[in-house]
């Protein structure tokens, strides 16, 4: 027996996560994401590799990021998948916002052809079955799935799937260290055949978060104290709230009166969802919720487009992250030329975005297109705030779960190779990192139920030998019968043989020495 | 009894050896009811128990009934301890029976044993258990039997020392160790708990191989699938580590401790919160860990061999990554309990290794940013221990965060931070100064913490001699620059800085010659506040002597030295304190004259505060003097206010009314001071008279056109003064002005300038004139009765102190909104001498109102006879102004009808 894994996306790259695993004859699709770096057919996983979209038993989405859910409406509405779709409650609540936001940007701003319509999204989301953390779902007679808390973003989950004796876990994106608003990933000890884990930071080991927080606060405070403006391009959900809690607390403590703005729309709506989904946040938020909702920020004011060029310092959270377009790009164009201003880029940026260019060296000018050129004189602070676990976290999880096989996805090829090396040498677990559209066969061990005779069991409990418990028996496997373990006497009885004792005597010659 | 007998009946028939006889549930529950009922007679209990016991062997075929019967017996054992022994001996034979029987017997034994006091429990078990029996039960295939025998063993091992043993230590340990491999997690956990108990009880008595063996098993179990087994295993690893660390066993101890430490570290990443908490608790127990491993626990990255030459590479390969960043994970944990535990154990190790301390301080300081207060407190506690051990190496980058704690919202955090500052060694003068400033900010924001802050400042100054000397010199310069009247040292910041400056000379007698003398004299008025903060460190008398010795104030040592009162402050000491206060008050005059109204008021307020503190410890005689001073300062406060008003008269709207109110207040305050004390010296009396002259001058200047009455009054006062002593410049000036008939108003300023504040130094041997009133048989709950419109009597106990026979005393009674009624007190009716007069009398109150209930305010007043102008106050009352001698008492009345 084996688990067959078809990597449709996020193989040796970050983007369009999509893995189809065949376990015990059942096909499960984990995540159905899109690649943000492309706008042609490469943006979606190559669904044509599936013989039929309807031989898939179920689709499970780990969290609402577009690289994990972006292709779902396309798969259900265009490719015609009809089966069940599972995601957690927060993901179901937030995913339509993300999808529609992205569709609008694609169609309205970039003037590209849409892959799916608004109606498609609504129709697709109507099919979704929400699940809760640690809730076990019996998808059909054989297939069982369960979600575990993954940290990362609100509602992110790791998905455990089991068919018969074959067990696997798909982590999606996860975080092993808690942050200011989300807890750390939490999982039981499961004896897994296969673990598919993300490996965004396959080789990075991060320092204590306290240090990162201190540096970030210092950079922002110095900038606003000198009258500069701070732009923090983030995705609406997750980092924005994390950093905002941090800044709001700091503002309170240091008595700072500089306004903090959230670019309107999605983020304000997102904050509302955070307030509602308190149960999915960290222990600290849950504790303090009884007194005050920590997402009711004290120093945050709504922002209007006309405020971009107002004098005076401010901090602005603008979407989308990575400065890949939209409002954050608009603000970047205005603020980048002043050396008083600061651009704080939290987390990972996909190659090809402006965020990536800023992070990989300090460019003095950026050519947006052939007509637009931006002078970059502002300071750039790179934050290592990231909702992804670092290599230590991956190793810790792999060690804790001790699966028989590991497949790495959602990472960069050379780093994945290094991590594979470590997992194999340090933990002695077989590990692979297939490229997109490759299939990996993972052998699983088959366990067989055998029955034991009463005499054998009695022998087991009475025969004591020091600290070890040794029981001797004979395994009988007959065709058409269940395997059975019996004691020696019983066996002799069954086959009608008598016991013969052969004894040997040996002599040792004194001359042998 | 008959009823009881009938209930017992079916049970006693069990003596009948009829094998078919079976207990039914009804008779069992009747037996149970009898045994548990506290009023059942002893005989019935005995016969019930006996019949139950007798029936036991017959029940052995019916396991259900037997176990029920046993549980009834077990329940009754705690209520009737005398029966325990007989129950135990009769169940002995059943223990080796069927599986269900044995388990029922064992659970009965357990409940009997646990209900016994002290040693009885285990001695009962010793009487029926032996090695073979225990071993055979422990290896039973039945879970229930195994679990119960294990629980019995855990129970016994807790009382191991005080009872006879039915197992040798070795067998006991072996049985437990066997159970750690049981397939039931509960048994594994119980076995580990039993071993832990054994190790704790037998602590020093065990050979080192026992903890080593336990350790080996525990390490095997820390990867267990069950959470509570892991918790117990981690606890045991910690315990074994602790014990092995203490024992001398000739093994490479550091290597062994390193292995244990890394093993526990590997549990710091467990998914269970309980395991993580236990892991960090256990980490704190393992001592003698090598620096390399400790440093590794602070870094997520694997440290190379460059770290201190001897690296952890020497350890076995698997354990190396385990320790990596354990503490980092701990202090970043989602649950504050884990962070707290990590913080505590971090502190324990930091005390033992300087190198580790240097690194861990970064994290402990970062924890000051934690959102949980209890974590911050724990981190402070760790820092405190590090400071106390001298391994806290503060760097400048930490100070910003740390000093921020002094203005934290939580008082516990502030207190914790100050506690650390008391011991901290600061590397630079700038840091020292900013620390002092932050403490002052703390004082300004939370003045109620003055004592603690002063003590911290004192310790800080004491620990940094050079720095505090520097600050002292700056302060002295500042004092020199300011004019005499500008007493900014009334500000809390000045007081705080003074404490820093005198700390090092005071504690070590060092820096004394270098410390500017002026600081000591400035510290004298703060004596009360400083000595309160330094309670337990310095005696107040010592402090004062020291300050006086080094200040430029002239004094005689014999004033202070002869007898140091053990309780409170001695009279002489008090006098010297008072002397300095009177001097300070004199300084306040210069402020008032200099029209520094606000400063003067602030200063006077702080003087008042001083007086309040000192009077807490003062003797009775001293209290009189202190009382005089507080009254005197009140007068000064009023004068300062009036002076302010007069000054602002030209610039802003002038409210004559408010002046009159203030003048009236001042007048009454002066009356009060004149008639509340006796035994004046000439100087003091003159001074008080001059003050009253001053009031007249104010009134005079306000009236603009003075009446002849006023003038006459002034002149009579001046002549009175002339009679007592020679006239001061002030009086002479007034006399001259009156004689020249020029306006006093115009010369108010020049008049004030010549006014001198002297004579206060002679305030001694004054006696208070006062009265005490006690109303007999009345309080708000049980009021006196009255008939509306008719007079009502009030029974009063009156005590008068230091009144002369010429004094005219009145009882002043008033009902709100009505004219008061005065009753003259004839002193001839009083018993006793001039010092104390006592009298009990029934005083009538005539004008009872026609209402259901009312209250009267009663107090004793004295007529101020020396006020020379006569004012017709009341028809039947005093002819002169009065001032109160007693506290006002409320007398409650309720009409007879309403009763």
Q: Is B727 left (phi over 0), alpha (psi -120 to 50) or beta?
A: beta
Short-list B59, B119, B111, B62, CA closest to B87: B111
Does residue A270 sit within a domain?
Answer: yes
Strands B836-845 and B792-801 turn out to be antiparallel
Q: Domain range spanning residue A285?
A: 211-382
CA distance B724 to B760: 16
Strands B767-768 and B770-775 turn out to be unpaired
Percent pLDDT > 90 in chain B is 11
User: Where residue A246 falls among pLDDT bands split at 50, 70, 90?
Assistant: confident
Nearest chain B CA: its distance from A293 CA (Å):
15
Q: What pLDDT sits at residue B314?
A: 41
pLDDT greater than 70 at residue B162 = no
Contact B139/A464, CB-based, under 8 Å? Answer: yes
CA dihedral A417, A419, A423, A426 (to 10 degrees): 110
Q: Are residues A348 and A433 in the same domain?
A: no
Lowest mean pLDDT among A32-41, B52-61, B341-350, B664-673: B52-61
Short-list B225, B323, B216, CA closest to B279: B323
- Decide which of A423, A441, A459 is a domain's last residue: A441
Q: Is the dihedral of CA A420, A423, A425, A430 positive or negative?
A: negative
Q: Are residues A314 and A241 in the same domain?
A: yes
Nearest chain A CA: its distance from B65 CA (Å):
27
Taking a C-beta distance cutoff of 8 angstroms, is the pair B483, B527 a contact?
no
pLDDT greater than 50 at residue B319 = no
pLDDT (tens digit per residue) in A363-395: 778 877 777 788 888 888 888 777 889 999 999
Lowest mean pLDDT among B103-117, B482-496, B757-771: B482-496
Residue with the bigger pLDDT between B193 and A275: it is B193
Q: Is A161 helix (H, G, I), strand (E, B) or coil?
A: strand
pLDDT greater than 80 at residue B119 = no
Does residue A125 sit within a domain?
Answer: yes
pLDDT greater than 60 at residue A513 = no
- Decide which of A382, A410, A431 is a domain's last residue: A382
Residue with the bigger pLDDT between B488 and B27: it is B27
Burial zone of A86 (CB within 10 Å; 0-12 exposed, 13-18 middle, 19+ buried): buried
pLDDT (tens digit per residue) in A111-166: 777 888 899 999 999 999 999 999 999 999 999 999 999 988 889 999 999 998 89
- Decide which of A339, A361, A382 is a domain's last residue: A382
Q: Are residues A226 and A97 in the same domain?
A: no
Continuous segment of H or E residues that includes residue A262: strand A260-262
pLDDT greater than 60 at residue A317 = yes
Over range B130-151, report the average pLDDT.
86
The CB-side HSE value for B714 (13 A sphere, CA atoms) comes to 27
Q: Of the segments B285-294, B400-409, B734-743, which one has the largest average pLDDT value?
A: B285-294
Residue B5 makes CB contacts below 8 A (sequence gap 6+) with none
Identify which of A186, A213, A395 has the shortest CB distance to residue B271: A186
Continuous segment of H or E residues that includes residue B861: strand B853-863
CA distances from A244 to A216, A385, A389, B274, B459 (A): 12, 13, 21, 31, 41
Number of domains in chain A: 3
Residue B462 makes CB contacts below 8 A (sequence gap 6+) with B468, B503, B504, B506, B507, B508
pLDDT (tens digit per residue) in B7-42: 444 444 334 444 444 567 788 888 889 888 888 888
pLDDT greater than 70 at residue A333 = yes
Q: Are residues A145 and A24 in the same domain?
A: yes
Short-list B729, B647, B645, CA closest to B690: B729
CA distance B874 to B877: 5
Q: What pLDDT sits at residue B155?
A: 86
Chain center to CA of B7 = 62
CA distance A384 to A435: 27
Considering only CB atoms, which residues of chain B are within 8 Å of chain A?
139-141, 177-178, 181, 225, 269-271, 300-301, 321, 324-325, 328-329, 331-336, 362-363, 366-367, 369, 371-372, 404
Does residue A396 sit within a domain?
Answer: yes
Burial zone of A119 (CB within 10 Å; 0-12 exposed, 13-18 middle, 19+ buried): exposed
pLDDT greater than 90 at residue A193 = yes
Residue with the bigger pLDDT between B718 and A427: it is A427
pLDDT (tens digit per residue) in A462-497: 655 555 566 778 888 888 788 888 888 888 888 888
Does A186 lie at the interface with B, CB-CB under 8 angstroms? yes
Taking a C-beta distance cutoff of 8 angstroms, is the pair B288, B245 a contact?
yes
Residue B327 makes CB contacts below 8 A (sequence gap 6+) with B268, B297, B298, B342, B346, B360, B363
Short-list B191, B194, B172, CA closest to B180: B191
CA distances from B604 to A342, B574, B753, B892 (A): 53, 19, 20, 39
Q: Are residues A218 and A292 in the same domain?
A: yes
ipTM for the predicted complex? 0.82
pLDDT greater than 60 at residue B557 = no
pLDDT greater than 90 at residue B670 = no
Q: What pLDDT sits at residue B571?
A: 62
pLDDT greater than 60 at residue B564 = no
Taking a C-beta distance cutoff of 8 angstroms, is the pair A16, A45 a contact?
yes
Q: Which of B702-732 are b and which e, b meaning 16 or more Cβ less than 10 Å from the residue's Cβ?
A: beeebeeebeebbeebbeebeeeeebbebbe
Does residue A488 sit within a domain?
Answer: yes
Q: Which of B780-808 are b and which e, b meaning 16 or more Cβ less than 10 Å from the residue's Cβ?
A: eeebbebebeeebebebebbbbbbeeebb
Contact B332/A208, CB-based, under 8 Å? Answer: yes
Does residue A40 sit within a domain?
Answer: yes
What single string gives the DSSP state of each residue in A410-445? Answer: SS-HHHHHHHHHHIIIII--EEE-PPTT-EEEEE--
Percent pLDDT > 90 in chain A is 35
Q: Are residues A464 and A322 in the same domain?
A: no
Pair of tokens at residue B103: 């388990």
pLDDT greater than 80 at residue B525 = no
Q: Which residues pair with A231 in a beta bridge?
A: A316, A343
Q: What pLDDT sits at residue B761?
A: 62
Pair of tokens at residue A180: 């200011």
User: Where residue B315 falls among pLDDT bands split at 50, 70, 90?
Assistant: very low
Does A255 lie at the interface with B, CB-CB under 8 angstroms? no
Query: Could you confirm whether A399 is annotated as catalytic?
Result: no
Does residue A469 sit within a domain?
Answer: yes
Q: Are residues A378 and A295 in the same domain?
A: yes
Does A210 lie at the interface with B, CB-CB under 8 angstroms? yes
Nearest chain B CA: its distance from A187 CA (Å):
7
Active-site residue among A77, A166, A198, A213? A198
Over range B180-203, report the average pLDDT.
90
Task: Compute φ and ψ for B563, nearest 5 degrees.
Answer: -125, 125
Q: Are residues A86 and A191 in the same domain?
A: yes
Pair of tokens at residue A462: 């009475």
Q: Is the dihedral of CA A364, A369, A371, A372 positive or negative?
A: negative
Residue with the bigger pLDDT between A288 and B177: it is B177
Tell which A residues from 418 to 477 touch B, by Cβ distance under 8 Å.
Answer: 426, 457-458, 461-462, 464, 467
Q: Report the residue of B144, B182, B324, B371 to disrupt the A interface, i.e. the one with the largest count of A CBs within 10 Å.
A: B371
| Helices marked H in B649-743 | 656-676, 682-703, 708-724, 729-740
Q: What pLDDT sits at residue A283?
A: 83
Does residue A456 sit within a domain?
Answer: yes
CA distance B591 to A256: 40
Does A205 lie at the interface with B, CB-CB under 8 angstroms? yes
- Write down the pTM of the prediction: 0.70
User: Where residue B6 falls among pLDDT bands split at 50, 70, 90?
Assistant: very low
Cis amide leading into A320 (omega within 30): yes
**Residue located via tokens 């065949």:** A22
Q: What pLDDT sits at residue B14?
A: 39
Identify which of B336, B366, B372 has the shortest CB distance to residue A210: B366
Q: Are residues A110 and A238 in the same domain?
A: no
B770-775, strands of its sheet edge to edge: B770-775, B792-801, B836-845, B831-832
Q: What pLDDT sits at residue B388?
A: 87
Longest alpha-carbon distance in chain B: 137
Q: What pLDDT sits at residue B310?
A: 39
CATH code assigned at A142: 3.60.15.10
Residues of B in contact with A177 (CB under 8 A): 329, 332
Residues in chain B: 899
Query: CA triplet A168, A172, A178: central angle to 5 degrees?
Result: 115
Pair of tokens at residue B350: 């930091």
Chain center to CA of A130 = 18
pLDDT (tens digit per residue) in B325-361: 899 999 989 999 999 999 999 999 998 888 899 888 8
pLDDT greater than 90 at residue A72 = yes
Chain center to CA of A183 = 14
Taking a C-beta distance cutoff of 8 angstroms, is the pair B79, B39 a contact?
no
Does residue A446 sit within a domain?
Answer: no
CATH code assigned at A266: 3.40.50.10890
Nearest-Cα residue of chain A relative to residue B266: A396
Residue with the bigger pLDDT between B247 and A276: it is A276
Taking a C-beta distance cutoff of 8 angstroms, is the pair B656, B731 a contact?
no
User: Where residue B317 falls among pLDDT bands split at 50, 70, 90?
Assistant: very low
Mean confidence (pLDDT) of chain B: 79
Q: Of the segments A169-173, B596-600, B736-740, which one has the largest average pLDDT value?
A: A169-173
pLDDT (tens digit per residue) in A51-67: 887 889 999 999 998 89
Nearest-Cα residue of chain B relative to residue A179: B334
Q: Which residues pair with B137 in a beta bridge?
A: none
pLDDT (tens digit per residue) in A86-119: 999 999 998 998 898 888 877 876 777 788 889 9
Q: What pLDDT sits at residue B193?
A: 92
Q: Are residues A99 and A76 in the same domain?
A: yes
User: Where residue B654 falls among pLDDT bands split at 50, 70, 90?
Assistant: low
How many CB atoms lie under 10 A from the CB of residue B869? 11
Q: Are residues A375 and A255 in the same domain?
A: yes
Identify which of A189, A400, A461 has the shortest CB distance to residue B141: A461
SS (H, E, C) B131-187: HHHHHHHHCCCCHHHHHHHHHHHHHHHHCHHHCCCCCCHHHHHHHHHHHCCCCCHHH
Query: CA triplet B574, B577, B578: central angle to 5 degrees?
Result: 85
How many CB atoms lie under 10 A from the CB of residue B512? 16
Q: Are residues A246 and A368 in the same domain?
A: yes
Q: Report the residue of A151, A178, A181, A210 to disrupt the B interface, i.e. the one with the largest count of B CBs within 10 Å.
A: A210
Over range A279-297, report the average pLDDT.
83
A143-149, strands of its sheet edge to edge: A136-138, A143-149, A157-163, A166-170, A194-198, A405-409, A430-432
């Amino acid at each position: 027996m084996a688990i067959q894994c078809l990597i449709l996306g996020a193989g040796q790259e970050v983007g369009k996560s999509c893995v189809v695993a065949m376990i015990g004859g059942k096909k499960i699709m984990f995540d159905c994401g899109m690649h943000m770096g492309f706008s042609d057919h490469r943006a979606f996983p190559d669904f044509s590799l599936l013989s039929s979209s309807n031989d898939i038993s179920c689709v499970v989405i780990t969290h609402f990021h577009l690289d994990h859910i972006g292709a779902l409406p396309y798969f259900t509405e265009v490719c015609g998948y009809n089966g069940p779709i599972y995601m957690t409650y927060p993901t179901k609540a937030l995913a339509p916002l993300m999808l529609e936001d992205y569709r609008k940007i694609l169609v309205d701003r970039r003037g590209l052809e849409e892959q799916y319509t608004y109606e498609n999204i609504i129709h697709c989301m109507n099919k979704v079955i929400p699940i809760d953390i640690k809730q076990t779902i019996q998808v059909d007679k054989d297939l069982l799935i369960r979600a575990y808390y993954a940290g990362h973003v609100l509602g992110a989950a790791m998905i455990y799937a089991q068919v018969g004796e074959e067990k696997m876990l798909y982590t999606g994106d996860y975080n092993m260290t808690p942050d200011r608003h989300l807890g750390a990933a939490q999982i039981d000890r499961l004896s897994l055949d296969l673990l598919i884990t993300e490996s965004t930071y396959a080789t990075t080991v991060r320092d204590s978060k306290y240090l990162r927080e201190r540096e970030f606060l210092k950079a922002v405070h110095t900038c606003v104290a000198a009258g500069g403006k701070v732009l923090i391009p983030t995705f609406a959900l997750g980092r924005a709230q994390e950093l905002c809690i941090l800044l709001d607390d700091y503002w309170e403590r240091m008595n700072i009166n500089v306004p903090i703005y959230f670019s309107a729309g999605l983020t304000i709506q997102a904050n509302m969802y955070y307030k509602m989904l308190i149960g999915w946040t960290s222990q600290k938020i849950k504790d303090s919720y009884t007194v005050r909702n920590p997402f009711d920020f004290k120093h945050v004011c709504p922002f209007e487009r006309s405020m971009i060029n107002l004098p005076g310092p401010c901090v602005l959270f603008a979407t989308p992250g990575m400065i890949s377009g939209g409002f954050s790009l608009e603000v970047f164009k205005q603020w980048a030329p002043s050396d008083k201003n600061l651009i704080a880029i939290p987390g990972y940026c996909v190659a090809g975005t402006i965020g990536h260019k800023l992070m990989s060296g300090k460019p003095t000018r950026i050519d947006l297109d052939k007509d637009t050129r931006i002078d970059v004189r502002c300071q750039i602070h790179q934050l290592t705030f990231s909702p992804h676990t670092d290599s230590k976290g991956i190793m810790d999880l792999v060690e804790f779960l001790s699966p028989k096989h590991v497949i790495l996805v959602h990472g960069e090829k050379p780093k994945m190779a290094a991590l594979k090396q470590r997992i194999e040498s340090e933990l002695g677990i077989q590990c692979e990192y297939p490229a997109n559209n490759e299939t990996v066969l993972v052998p699983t061990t088959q366990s067989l139920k055998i029955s034991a005779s009463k005499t054998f069991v009695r022998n087991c409990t009475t025969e004591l030998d020091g600290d070890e418990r040794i029981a001797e028996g004979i395994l009988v496997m007959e065709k058409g019968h269940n395997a059975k373990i019996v004691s020696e006497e019983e066996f002799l009885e069954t086959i009608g043989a008598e016991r013969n004792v052969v004894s040997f005597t040996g002599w040792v010659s004194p001359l042998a020495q | 009894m008959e009823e009881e007998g009938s209930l017992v009946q079916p049970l006693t028939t069990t003596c009948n050896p009829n094998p078919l006889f079976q207990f039914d549930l009804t008779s069992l529950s009747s037996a149970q009811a009898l045994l548990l009922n506290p009023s059942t007679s002893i005989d019935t209990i005995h016969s019930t128990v006996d019949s139950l016991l007798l029936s036991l062997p017959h029940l052995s075929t019916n396991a259900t009934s037997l176990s029920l019967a046993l549980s009834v017996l077990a329940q009754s054992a705690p209520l009737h301890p005398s029966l325990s022994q007989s129950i135990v001996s009769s169940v002995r034979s059943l223990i080796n029976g069927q599986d269900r029987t044995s388990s029922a017997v064992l659970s009965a034994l357990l409940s009997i044993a646990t209900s016994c006091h002290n040693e009885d429990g285990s001695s009962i078990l010793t009487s029926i258990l032996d090695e073979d029996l225990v071993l055979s039960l422990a290896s039973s295939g039945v879970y229930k039997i195994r679990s119960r025998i294990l629980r019995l063993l855990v129970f016994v091992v807790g009382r191991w020392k005080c009872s006879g043993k039915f197992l040798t230590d070795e067998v006991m340990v072996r049985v437990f160790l066997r159970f750690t491999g049981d397939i039931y997690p509960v048994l594994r956990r119980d076995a580990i708990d039993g071993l832990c108990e054994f190790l704790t009880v037998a602590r020093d008595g065990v050979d080192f191989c026992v903890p080593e063996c336990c350790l080996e098993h525990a390490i095997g179990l820390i990867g267990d699938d069950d959470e509570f087994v892991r918790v117990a295993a981690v606890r045991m690893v910690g315990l074994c580590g602790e014990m092995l660390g203490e024992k001398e066993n000739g093994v490479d101890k550091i290597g062994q401790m390193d292995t244990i430490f890394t093993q526990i570290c590997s549990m710091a990443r467990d998914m269970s919160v309980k395991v993580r908490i236990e892991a960090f608790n256990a980490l704190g127990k393992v001592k003698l860990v090598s620096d390399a491993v400790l440093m590794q626990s602070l870094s997520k990255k694997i440290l190379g061999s460059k770290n201190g030459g001897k690296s952890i590479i020497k350890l076995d390969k698997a354990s190396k990554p385990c320790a990596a960043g354990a503490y980092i994970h701990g202090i970043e944990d989602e649950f504050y309990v884990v962070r707290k535990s990590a913080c505590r154990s971090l502190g324990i190790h930091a005390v033992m290794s300087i190198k580790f301390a240097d690194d861990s301080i970064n994290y402990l300081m970062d924890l000051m940013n934690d959102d949980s207060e209890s974590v911050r407190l724990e981190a402070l506690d760790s820092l405190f221990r590090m400071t106390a051990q001298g391994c806290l190496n503060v760097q400048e980058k930490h100070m910003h965060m740390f000093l921020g704690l002094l203005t934290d919202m939580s008082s516990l955090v502030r207190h914790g931070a100050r506690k650390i500052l008391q011991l901290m060694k600061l590397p630079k003068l700038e840091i020292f100064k900013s620390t002092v400033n932050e403490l002052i900010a703390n004082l300004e924001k939370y003045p109620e913490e003055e004592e603690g802050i002063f003590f911290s400042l004192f310790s800080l100054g004491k620990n940094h001699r050079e720095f505090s000397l520097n600050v002292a010199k700056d302060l002295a310069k500042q004092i020199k620059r300011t004019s005499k009247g500008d007493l900014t040292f009334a500000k809390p910041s000045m007081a705080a800085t003074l404490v820093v400056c005198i700390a090092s000379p005071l504690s070590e007698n060092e820096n004394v010659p270098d410390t500017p003398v002026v600081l000591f004299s400035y510290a004298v008025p703060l004596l009360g506040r400083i000595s309160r903060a330094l309670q337990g460190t310095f005696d107040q008398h010592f402090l004062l002597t020291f300050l006086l010795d080094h200040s430029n104030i002239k004094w005689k040592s014999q004033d202070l030295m002869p007898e140091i009162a053990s309780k409170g402050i001695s009279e002489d000491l008090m006098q010297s304190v008072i002397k300095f206060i009177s001097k300070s008050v004199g300084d306040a005059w210069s402020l008032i004259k200099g029209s520094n109204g606000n400063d003067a008021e602030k200063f006077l307020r702080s003087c008042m505060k001083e007086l309040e503190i000192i009077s807490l410890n003062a003797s009775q005689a001293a209290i009189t003097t202190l009382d005089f001073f507080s009254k005197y300062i009140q007068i000064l406060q009023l004068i300062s206010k009036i002076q302010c008003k007069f000054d602002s008269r030209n610039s802003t709207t002038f409210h004559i009314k408010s002046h009159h109110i203030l003048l009236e207040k001042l007048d009454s305050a002066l009356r009060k001071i004149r008639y509340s004390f006796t035994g004046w010296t000439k100087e003091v009396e003159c001074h008080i008279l001059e003050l009253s002259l001053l009031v007249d001058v104010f009134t005079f200047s306000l009236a603009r056109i003075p009446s002849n009455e006023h003038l006459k009054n002034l002149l009579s006062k001046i002549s009175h003064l002339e009679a007592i002593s020679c006239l001061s410049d002030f009086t002479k000036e007034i006399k001259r002005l009156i004689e020249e008939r020029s306006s006093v108003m115009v010369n108010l300023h020049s008049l004030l300038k010549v006014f001198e504040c002297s004579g206060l130094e002679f305030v001694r041997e004054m006696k208070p004139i006062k009265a005490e009133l006690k109303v007999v048989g009345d309080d708000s709950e049980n009021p006196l009765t009255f008939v509306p419109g008719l007079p009502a009597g009030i029974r009063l106990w009156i005590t008068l102190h230091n009144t002369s026979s010429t004094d005219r005393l009145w009882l002043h009674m008033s009902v709100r909104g009505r004219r008061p009624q005065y009753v003259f007190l004839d002193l001839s009716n009083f018993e006793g001498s001039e010092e104390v007069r006592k009298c009990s009398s029934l005083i009538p109150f005539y004008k009872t109102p026609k209402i259901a209930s009312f209250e009267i305010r009663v107090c004793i007043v004295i007529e101020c006879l020396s006020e020379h102008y006569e004012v017709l106050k009341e028809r039947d009352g005093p002819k002169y102004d009065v001032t109160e001698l007693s506290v006002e008492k409320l007398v409650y009345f309720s009409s007879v009808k309403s009763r």
